[in-house]
Amino acid sequence: MTNNNFLLTLFGATGDLASRKLYPGLYRLYKLGHIGEHFAVIGLGRRVWTKDHYEQVILDSIEHLIDDEAHAQEFARRFYYNPLDMTADEDYKALRNLSLELDKKYGLEGNRLFYLSVAPHFFTEVTHHIQAQNLLTDGDFNRLIIEKPFGHDFESAQVLQNALNQAFDENQIYRIDHYLGKEIVQSIENLRFDNQLMAHAWNKESIANIQITLAEAVDVEGRGEFYDGTGASKDMLQNHMMQLLALIAMEQPEEFTADKVRERKIEVLESLQLYADVKDLQANVVRGQYTTSHDKDLIGYHKDDSVADDSCTETYVALRLHLNLPQWKGVPFYLRTGKALTRKLTVIDVEFKPTRPGVPANHLRIEIDPDLGYTFWLNTKKVGFSTEPEVVSFNHTLSDEERAISPDDYERLILEVIHGDASRFAHWQEVAHSWKFVDRIQELWQETKGKDICFYPAKSDGPKEADQLIAQDGFQWKPIAKQSST
């Protein structure tokens, strides 16, 4: 039976993520009865807040969800605030005392969740003090939840992992990626493995190529100084896109347990074929930067005052990769992500091989955002005496009612942590192999010294070189612009 008794210790309780996502997510779980009488939250931050002020912060953050004011106030009363200097031993001692007090008051049975919603350079400091000040207990569980980024390359991620392992085993660490909490992402396993049509055709014999697109309509929004040290490959490719790739390409696990699912995902990321040299990189990877849009509404990346004049940071990356797995031999996977594109869109497009010459290929689109659903293009014949093939589409999009009851990303993932289900959280080996792949790209880009950067106007689909990349194989990118389903 799942133990839903817990104390959540939230580092970064005064931050934007906490107010926008974490408090509303917890309240939705409370309203639905997924968490009840036996929980409490300790919020930690550098600001000096009273408990009354913290409770009001909670109420303000969940205002749009409140149906019963008294019920909401009951929820907020379970939140306690403690100022914390993350380097001060005495502050952790005070935290331990408060934790023991709340454990007894709410019957939490020593179950602990530690959520690090702070800058990554604090991760090591915090976990060291968690161990040194005996904040870990002998309850049913001690679990650590951490936000991305997990390092800025493989070496820094390895240092961080070693530090975390001083206090937590790998099976206690939950690296949260909100994409894995999305409704349609969570249904990919069902789509692939619960349908005979998909289960038997999901391999090199039937699939011609797979495309993963994560397009953003926004530019760097004045955050050029931060973004300039990151770029699209570290910001999106290393985490979100690699996770989507693993889910779409993994073999069916023996059983759908967290360990077995993660083993299959690790197999995919371990099989990533690294680019051999600069020539190989340039044949398979396009990096771009956006320029001012034709309507002058968005200024170019280099026109942002916070971006270095000689910046080679990519705001767009498209690549062709192959997996060293027998079931995917010869099948190209195309990934693209970028800022200041035509529209916001996250989709996976699966293009099947034609059954015979002259017949269009079947096409499955899995739309993750902004619409949620699937479209499958099939072949039939034109009505009448003609025997010519005609493409028809079958579409299922979640209704407004379905979207209304679908859990928010963080709501869903927090509940999975409480239940101890790590299926939707990246294992260290997944992180490690993803970083090794991105590090190789970064290493080879250093050799090109920016001479390979392609430019594209903001509000477009990206550089023309990305179209040329996929065209070499006889394919085309599926449109970012909305496709008709009729």
Residues assigned a catalytic role? 240
Q: Which segments within 128-275 are labelled E, that is strand? A: 142-147, 173-176, 207-215
Q: What angle do CA 475, 479, 482 make, to 5 degrees?
A: 155
Using CA atoms, how far apart are residues 228 and 254, in angstroms rounded to an integer? 43
How many residues does the structure list for the chain?
486
Nearest one of 168, 9, 148 to 91, comparing CA atoms:
9
Give the pairing type, strands 316-321 and 285-291.
Answer: antiparallel
CB 6 within 8 A of CB 45: no
Q: How far is CA 280 from the centre of its chain?
A: 28
**Beta bridge pairs of residue 40:** 7
* Residue 457: strand, helix, or coil: strand
For 75, the enclosing helix (H) or strand (E) is: helix 69-76
Tell me which residue of 181, 183, 202 sits closest to 192, measured CA to CA: 202
Q: What is the DSSP string of 171-211?
A: GGEEEE-GGGGSHHHHTHHHHHHS-HHHHTT-STTTEEEEE
3-class DSSP assignment, residue 453: strand
Cα–Cα distance between 377 and 392 in angstroms, integer?
A: 6
